[in-house]
Amino acid sequence: MKTSEILNQLKLRGKLLYYTGWFLIAISILMIIPLFIDSRLVMGINPWIKPMNFCMSTAIYVWTYSWLLHDNDIQKPWHTSLSQA
């Protein structure tokens, strides 16, 4: 399965979670700017690395949740509200 096919499937499975993932990826990309501007170090690491990694990992989690939520056969009220948004 190609990457474009996976992204199309994610969009079909849950638009809200799909766009939330992209929003988090965009924030991660924006955090690259202060990464190079801010010269501080906290325990030898730039302080912008942690929030950038958090946004990226949360985006992957949201997309995985969207994928698995669609495969769940049990219809629950929160399931339909999240996947239909």
Token output for 25: 């990826």
Q: Is residue 64 included in any domain, yes or no?
A: no
Q: Is residue 50 included in any domain, yes or no?
A: no
- Range of 24's domain? 8-44
Q: What is the pLDDT of residues 47-77, one digit of tens each?
A: 999 999 999 999 999 999 998 887 775 555 6
Q: What is the pLDDT of residues 15-29, one digit of tens each?
A: 999 999 999 999 999
Q: Is residue 32 included in any domain, yes or no?
A: yes
Domain count within the chain: 1
Q: Does residue 81 carry a pLDDT above 80?
A: no
Q: Is residue 63 included in any domain, yes or no?
A: no
